[in-house]
Structure 1
Amino acid sequence: MKEKILILGAGMIQVPIIEKAKRLGYVVLVLDGSAEAPGMKLADYSFVISTLDAESALQIAIEHQVDAVITTSDYPVNVVAMLCEKLNLIGISPFAAEVCTNKYLQRKLALQFGIKCPQFVKLNFNHLSAYTVPFSYPVIVKPLDSSASRGITIVYEESALADAFVQAKRYSRTDEFLIEEFIEGKEYSIEGLVQQGRLHVLGITEKFLEEAEGMLFPVEIGHVCSVVFEASLQERVVHFADSVVQAFQIDNSALHLEFKLFNNQIYLIECAGRPGGDFIASDLIPLATGIDLLEGLIKIAMGQELRIERSIDRYAGIKFLDRSNYHRLAAYLQQSSHASISRFTIEAYKDAPLQSSLDRLGYFIACDKNKERLIEILDGK
């Protein structure tokens, strides 16, 4: 009898893991709150159920005797952890899942374990009258539990604080939020897999952000991986990642760990117990390194030993279209026959400001042996 995998979520972000599990020969069950989610028709069994409905998910897992439960997005991570614990399956623990989906818990543990992070305070939406920020502007206001930059605002002066509170509340499922100091510097993410307490760093991704007038918060418009630092810094970055994994008790999970480099210091920005989004896990890591991150995640859940071997040594990147570059890049993609571009999607134009990743209008993915040349390709040159 074929082994069964239950995947929480069937949106575009889950389609690659659904397709991967099918190609590996597993029976795939998916649940999603939308019957129109693109992954619903790809699975062997699909259920129109919210990914946050833990009890219904548990009933389905028991009824179908699934062998593994996984997700590739933030919101269902806690449900995955609960199911794995109740059914004695391999996966992230409830403690680690809670930490990875709560920015305040991440900050508290970082301080406890000596991991550098921004200064921060946690506030309640109901107690904001005459509040004074205890550190210098600019600051960041963010919900504890948001993703895709939703509800996050960078605030440059006190007069804009109230509007930032409103934005944070709009995207929060709790009554609390964070105010953090803004850390300068370049932002990166570590993409990894953790099995039986051992972290496998698969690649480091460099982020490129759009910072235009009127934007609430810089939005990612591109990524390049796999970046390698000079030897001593590379060693420090890997040690930093190990420290976070140990502090947050992350095990049998994917790892997406965002950090900044500023004044020769490494600052924790956020940590997630799932693969990197924006096609980092499904496309960029395999194109740059030859490592199949999604297959590795499935192997962890199925109790199979990971064997991580880099077979490719090049750079891979993604560039997103928005209203500022749409017409130029759309024309470039439709006319280009550049062999380095592996695929692209162009959506209908919308004259909407780029306020979160949901406002993007398409993307294209490319790779090259030379990082500078790749960046030129991604810039449409």
Structure 2
Amino acid sequence: MPADFTRPSALIILGAGPGQVPLIQKAQAMGYRVVAVDRDPLAPGFQYVDTAIRTSTHDTQKILAILKEKGYAWAGVLARTTAAEALASAAAIADVFRLPGLTPDLIAISTEKSTLRVFALRHGLSVPTGIQDTGNTVDPDDADYPVIVRPDSTVTGKSHIRFCPDRAVLFEAITQARNASANRTADIGHYIDGIDTTCLCWINVGQAYCLAWWDELVGITAHCEITGLGLSTPSIIEGTPSHTRAEALCQRLARCFPTVNALLLLSFRINGEGQPFLIEVHADLGGDLIAEIFLPAAVETFDFFALAIRIATAGQTRITPLVCRPTALYYCPVDKDLKGDDITRTLGAIIVRNDRIEENLTRLEDIIELRDLRFIKRPLHAEWRERSWHA
């Protein structure tokens, strides 16, 4: 069918599953035609689109051929996914139709831990040291422990990430990580004791705009598994030398991509001396309820998906950092609940809002007890905040 040019230009969205539905609906609300791609013929997002392309998001050449036949005036392309193949399709579409978007080298560092490490070291960015396991026997020296073993190419969140205090659990952890990795390799990195924080960062032609910072509240269980407890904003590093150093790393990373216009999440590990280390680059428009629940709760006027669409269509020219009220999101099963005037229940989580970050962090112990977690390492954010550099 020929394109109908009497309507506004079209937005390409790779994926039409539950995670893409809010993005599709927002694009429609902003007046765009939406063309979505998904191999599931019954994907829930298809009911909201103008055109459904029922094929794999990994089949780049087939997608390009179909898009060329449509003849629409393309406005942009978005992929809310961690799959390297789907992100590669998005980059190819952006390149062919001359749209803003990701590049192959940015996708590589956002989908493979080992590639990020090599890239960061080459460009003078601080990252934890480590090695990639490709099937050969890896046996770190005693002095290298503890280590973190992760799937090199993550498929699902924090699953199959293990803390190894010594070699007793190393080989089991490597096998599990390798089997769970999209590229069937494991990443073994030096464990840095400290806290995790993430930046919502707009990278635009070599310039980084740090829009918001939040803390990732993560613990290590007695089974040496990494468990996410929740998120808290503003980050406790804000206003400290660590914040300045982390923002400098964001700028240095942005300068490596002078042609990119994209919304990223950059995750850092801050050690006991306040030094930041880049640990992950996310080009997948976020998960973990960040876009749907967490940021809108912290900034009532903020719309994550609208911002992502404006950036993807080159409609965003300037933005100021978000002003986040103290807000925490804790992952909490629906069959368990906490009571309090500061608590709002949402799907799969609770929102806690008080006047001070410290008050929100006090709920950590309640969540740990409620979820019956046995930790050998707990989040250190409350203790970190009390250090002298906050005086």
Matched, 1:293 2:295: no
Task: Check the 8 A contact 2:201/2:212 in 1, yes or no.
Answer: yes
In the alignment, residue 74 of structure 1 is paired with which amino acid? Answer: T
In the alignment, residue 373 of structure 1 is paired with which amino acid? Answer: E
Partner residue of 1:67 out of 70, 75, 79: 75
By how many angstroms is 1:99 displaced?
2.2
Shift in alpha-carbon separation, 1:250–1:186, aligned structure 2, 3 A: farther
Alignment match, 1:320: 331
Shift in alpha-carbon separation, 1:369–1:13, aligned structure 2, 3 A: farther
For residues 51 and 317 of structure 1, the distance between their equivalents in structure 2, rounded to whole angstroms, comes to 34
Alignment match, 1:359: none
In the alignment, residue 214 of structure 1 is paired with which amino acid? Answer: H
Alignment match, 1:151: 160
By how many angstroms is 1:178 displaced?
1.7
By how many angstroms is 1:267 displaced?
1.0
Matched, 1:246 2:264: no
Task: Check the 8 A contact 2:134/2:184 in 1, yes or no.
Answer: yes
In the alignment, residue 197 of structure 1 is paired with which amino acid? Answer: G
Shift in alpha-carbon separation, 1:62–1:367, aligned structure 2, 3 A: farther
Shift in alpha-carbon separation, 1:152–1:377, aligned structure 2, 3 A: closer
By how many angstroms is 1:340 displaced?
5.4
By how many angstroms is 1:40 displaced?
2.8
For residues 336 and 103 of structure 2, the distance between their equivalents in structure 1, rounded to whole angstroms, comes to 46
Q: Which moved more, 1:42-51 or 1:204-213?
A: 42-51
Alignment match, 1:308: 319
2:213 aligned counterpart, secondary structure: strand
For residues 264 and 146 of structure 2, the distance between their equivalents in structure 1, rounded to whole angstroms, comes to 29
For residues 12 and 88 of structure 2, the distance between their equivalents in structure 1, rounded to whole angstroms, comes to 14
In the alignment, residue 326 of structure 2 is paired with which amino acid? Answer: Y
In the alignment, residue 320 of structure 1 is paired with which amino acid? Answer: Y
Alignment match, 1:274: 284
Partner residue of 1:117 out of 127, 147, 152: 127
By how many angstroms is 1:327 displaced?
4.2
Q: Deviations over 1:299-324 (max 9, x none)?
A: 122121333245754123321125xx
For residues 249 and 170 of structure 1, the distance between their equivalents in structure 2, rounded to whole angstroms, comes to 36
Alignment match, 2:48: 42
For residues 69 and 212 of structure 1, the distance between their equivalents in structure 2, rounded to whole angstroms, comes to 39
Q: Which moved more, 1:59-68 or 1:184-193?
A: 59-68
1:204 aligned counterpart, secondary structure: strand
Shift in alpha-carbon separation, 1:377–1:214, aligned structure 2, 3 A: closer
Task: Check the 8 A contact 1:92/1:250 in 2, yes or no.
Answer: no
In the alignment, residue 292 of structure 1 is paired with which amino acid? Answer: D
Q: Which moved more, 1:144-153 or 1:241-250?
A: 241-250
For residues 219 and 41 of structure 2, the distance between their equivalents in structure 1, rounded to whole angstroms, comes to 33
Task: Check the 8 A contact 1:288/1:313 in 2, yes or no.
Answer: yes
For residues 163 and 174 of structure 2, the distance between their equivalents in structure 1, rounded to whole angstroms, comes to 11
Alignment match, 2:234: 226
Alignment match, 1:214: 223
Alignment match, 1:363: 349
By how many angstroms is 1:5 displaced?
0.8
For residues 297 and 170 of structure 1, the distance between their equivalents in structure 2, rounded to whole angstroms, comes to 33
Q: Which runs of 5+ in 2 are unaligned?
A: 1-6, 371-391
For residues 22 and 367 of structure 1, the distance between their equivalents in structure 2, rounded to whole angstroms, comes to 32
Q: Deviations over 1:161-220 (max 9, x none)?
A: 2211221222223243321111110111111212233222111110112432225x3121
By how many angstroms is 1:256 displaced?
0.8
For residues 197 and 165 of structure 2, the distance between their equivalents in structure 1, rounded to whole angstroms, comes to 23
Partner residue of 2:346 out of 335, 341, 344: 344
> What TM-score, normalized to structure 1?
0.83
By how many angstroms is 1:81 displaced?
0.8
By how many angstroms is 1:282 displaced?
3.5
> What TM-score, normalized to structure 2?
0.81
State the identity as a percent.
24
Task: Check the 8 A contact 1:193/1:200 in 2, yes or no.
Answer: yes
By how many angstroms is 1:376 displaced?
5.0
Shift in alpha-carbon separation, 1:175–1:278, aligned structure 2, 3 A: closer
In the alignment, residue 202 of structure 1 is paired with which amino acid? Answer: L
For residues 67 and 87 of structure 1, the distance between their equivalents in structure 2, rounded to whole angstroms, comes to 9
For residues 250 and 231 of structure 1, the distance between their equivalents in structure 2, rounded to whole angstroms, comes to 31
Task: Check the 8 A contact 1:291/1:308 in 2, yes or no.
Answer: no
Please report the RMSD computed on the Cα atoms of aligned residues, expressed in angstroms. Answer: 2.6
Partner residue of 2:58 out of 49, 52, 56: 52
Matched, 1:165 2:167: no
By how many angstroms is 1:264 displaced?
2.0
For residues 202 and 93 of structure 1, the distance between their equivalents in structure 2, rounded to whole angstroms, comes to 22
Shift in alpha-carbon separation, 1:201–1:115, aligned structure 2, 3 A: same
Q: Which runs of 5+ in 1 are unaligned?
A: 346-361
2:214 aligned counterpart, secondary structure: strand
By how many angstroms is 1:368 displaced?
4.0
For residues 21 and 353 of structure 2, the distance between their equivalents in structure 1, rounded to whole angstroms, comes to 22
Shift in alpha-carbon separation, 1:212–1:153, aligned structure 2, 3 A: closer
Matched, 1:374 2:383: no
Shift in alpha-carbon separation, 1:179–1:111, aligned structure 2, 3 A: same
Matched, 1:28 2:34: yes
Q: Deviations over 1:212-265 (max 9, x none)?
A: 2225x3121200123262253322221111122224667211111111111221
For residues 274 and 242 of structure 2, the distance between their equivalents in structure 1, rounded to whole angstroms, comes to 9
In the alignment, residue 364 of structure 1 is paired with which amino acid? Answer: I
